[in-house]
Chains A and B, each alone.
Chain A
């Protein structure tokens, strides 16, 4: 557990959007997908996922519909809306810019200044 990183505030939404962008998923599926695509490097308390999902639905970035899961249980499936897809693109870009900026800042060597 100790080598798992805490989530930065606001990044959970981005992760959810990314996970769902690969295909409709129910809540537990999203959790598994985030674990999978992040290499289990991120720590989320499971319940904390849901307020985020409801928030994204309310913002119109996700839409939800009831269906049946692979375990044959009734579950609510989430998928991206058009607005959600755009938001994901924008957020990804700005995240990449930020990450690149931070990375290059941290990579600076003393003699380069």
Chain B
């Protein structure tokens, strides 16, 4: 038939529903009356004739319904009717509806959040036009994502595979427009940065390659949209205005677009400045040092060039570099990787983490579906009589199934919408979250259309899934049996049903989550109490960069000494020291160590790499790092004195094989500087808590001054009292010092970030899993009790013990709980192997974890089965018999 005519028929049918209904009634009645007329003529009384005519006609309502269906509007009509009926049924049992919707909302919400993470961290390339053509250049076998500036220039100028190649770095600086600089983090970038990325300014203009005319020649900045909003109130007049960066005048060229955050997913710079001005901005420059490999390089691949071809091209440049600069670039090689996660350095852990979360979220969704499936079949069983009655009245099974599915869909849509709303709120919080003090680490995980779409699909698919669970039950239902006794069925069945498997599976899932989160939390607690190689309690850190307030060269150590003296003279300060870095804070630096006999300083001759810290006298005393042998660094170790170092045990073992030989011995650092070992301290933790014992050395900051200054101050006074005193003391020396004061324990947040994030995520997922398990057990227990309520009542009447009654009613549920928990516990132990990469000392071989899991699961079981158990115990045979 003509589809247009069909549509027309459907539409008119819908709009003229009542008229059609009337006409249909009239037509069918006329038929019956015509028949009655005939019967009357054959000799029956009118009333008897009408009765016979009605009987001969058959099921009036059923044929009328079929007529409606035949008019074509039926599918929509029926759906609307189903919808109305479904809503009514759901309203009639608010408890069930609430539990079902909440369960699904939890699962969908969790999945939406995790999908957003996946989307913004893994799936989405950098947010610039044609971001998929951008590649970070990695170096060497260990895929270091950073290069030196001279090597960058060679790569940029000699390659034939890239449309453009940029370099950039993240650095801090002091920015002020009113006298007191505040520390900011910015990107210093090559002049072609914005052109290679292909972004257009929101306001004003960007800097270009043509703005670069040698060192410190381009005093320009481009503000990020966020910084422009927060510090310039979105004032369009900022273009052309001058701000002071480290006390030097810089011109604001323009503002970057709102959603442009540079090339790193975790980092949002406040502004961008040309890399040629590195010296002014950071206080020192290594633009001409071929071995200072600290800048990442991102290239935009020419269209038609494959990454493999480009890698070959880059490696021909590598060969040239190795030949031209054998000392610096010996055996150098390059490869390509996706940009965004420090090259792809964080790619592995991030992918593993998000993948793990994804798996857990999927498990939760599965548990929710299993759970809702069992809730829906419990409900279908409770409604067995209704279904049987409808079947007996001529309703088709397909129609009843459709009705049940409509209800499931209603629940899934409501749950999906609620879940997505909560997820969106959570994601907004997460996007604004800055987990690490003093550094703008932050991820933009704003849900987009894709997230909403995925959540909707997930909701609908799960609706179908759990809606289908009771189907077989309905298909097999026998109307006559159903009406005779509502409480028939699988009483005392020993068969393992699908429902049993579903419940055991979700209990197992819950147990996996509970196990992993307990392991993570235990690991966290233990790692906080473990030995870091220093004692962070009662220590305040004051971070400042003297370069930001205009101190250069020899002024720096003088000012540092003045600051230290001022702080030491504060009563209640027991000791203080300063250094250029602090272990377990953000950032680290390693240097290559050569044996003393080395004369040729090519990388292959090195002994190993060690963490390097430049510290003042008193550092170990203040940090409470145990000095095992030798002496601390002192004020004698001045600039012109012989170079000395305190090393850790790991360093001593690595280079000399034993600690005793180390004291007084020498080693060399890059460039040939000879350093004498004067002391040995315990090995601590430097970058992460889960790292292996690593070599580290502490050099005298007097011998290589650094404008970056961390004052550490040990005192018994509370941080709240001491911080303002410290600030006043230091500002009395120089009012323009930008200061950040924090407790050392708080600064550990950086080192603990991954573990903390993992624990929080697991904890959240674990409580979701627990809630799902509760509803699952509750559903199953209620189902099993209401099925056997009559039998239980009779047993009680015959004098059964409470224990026996409970065992009868809930034995199966508790057997499932045990099986599920044991399976989940074992799976959880296997899963925590994965966890131990993120959380320090995560091990399931821990009696507290084991006891915790068993206790939690038992508690869940008791909580969930409490109400059904009460109902079983209070089963009153008289009431039950009357109900029948």
Chain A residues within CB distance 8 Å of chain B: 26-29, 31, 45-48, 50-52, 54-55, 57-60, 69, 71, 73-76
Contact = CB atoms under 8 A, between A and B. Distances in A.
B691 interface: no
Given A45-B58, A60-B5, A51 B30 contact: no
B34 A51 contact: no
Given A50-B63, A69-B34, A58 B9 contact: yes
Given A51-B69, A74-B26, A46 B37 contact: no
B600 interface: no
Chain B interface residue number, banded: 20 to 34
13 contacts: A27-B27, A27-B30, A31-B31, A46-B56, A50-B31, A50-B64, A54-B67, A58-B72, A69-B34, A71-B34, A71-B37, A74-B30, A75-B34
B9 to A, nearest CB: 6
Contacts of A45: 56-58
A29 B34 CA distance: 9
Interface string B38-74: 0000000000000000001111101110110111100
A31 B57 CA distance: 11
A47 B28 contact: yes
A60 to B, nearest CB: 6
Q: Per DSSP, are chain B's interface residues mostly helix, strand or loop, or mixed? A: helix
Interface string B842-861: 00000000000000000000
Given A48-B63, A51-B66, A59-B1, A76 B23 contact: yes
A28 B66 contact: no
B33 interface: yes
A59 to B, nearest CB: 6
Contact of A50 (B1, B2, B5, B28): B28
A76 B58 contact: no
B35 interface: yes
Interface of B: 1-2, 5-6, 9, 23, 26-28, 30-31, 33-35, 37, 56-60, 62-64, 66-67, 69-72
A75 B67 contact: no
A97 to B, nearest CB: 25
A111 to B, nearest CB: 48
A74 B66 CA distance: 23
Contacts of B33: 71, 73
Contacts of B67: 50-51, 54
A75 B35 contact: no
A78 B43 CA distance: 30
A46 B34 contact: no
Contacts of B63: 47-48, 50-51
A75 B58 contact: no
Given A47-B28, A73-B34, A74-B26, 10 more contacts: A45-B58, A47-B60, A48-B58, A48-B63, A50-B63, A51-B67, A51-B69, A54-B71, A60-B5, A73-B33
Contact of B70 (A28, A55, A74): A55
B851 to A, nearest CB: 67
A43 to B, nearest CB: 12
The interface centre, meaning the residue of A31, A46, A59, A75 with most chain B CB atoms within 10 A of its CB, is A46
Nearest to A29: B34
The interface centre, meaning the residue of A45, A55, A58 with most chain B CB atoms within 10 A of its CB, is A58
A51 B1 CA distance: 18
A16 B429 CA distance: 69
A52 B69 CA distance: 11
Contact of A54 (B31, B60, B70): B70
Given A58-B9, A58-B72, A59-B1, A50 B27 contact: yes
The interface centre, meaning the residue of A27, A48, A51 with most chain B CB atoms within 10 A of its CB, is A51
Contacts of B34: 26, 28-29, 69, 71, 73, 75
A50 B5 CA distance: 21
A69 B70 contact: no
A31 B58 CA distance: 14
B31 A58 contact: no
B58 A51 contact: no
A60 B2 CA distance: 10
Which 5 A/B pairs are nearest by Cβ-Cβ distance?
A47-B63, A54-B70, A51-B66, A28-B34, A47-B58
Contacts of A59: 1
A74 B34 CA distance: 11
Nearest to A61: B1
A69 B67 CA distance: 22
Contacts of A58: 1, 6, 9, 70-72
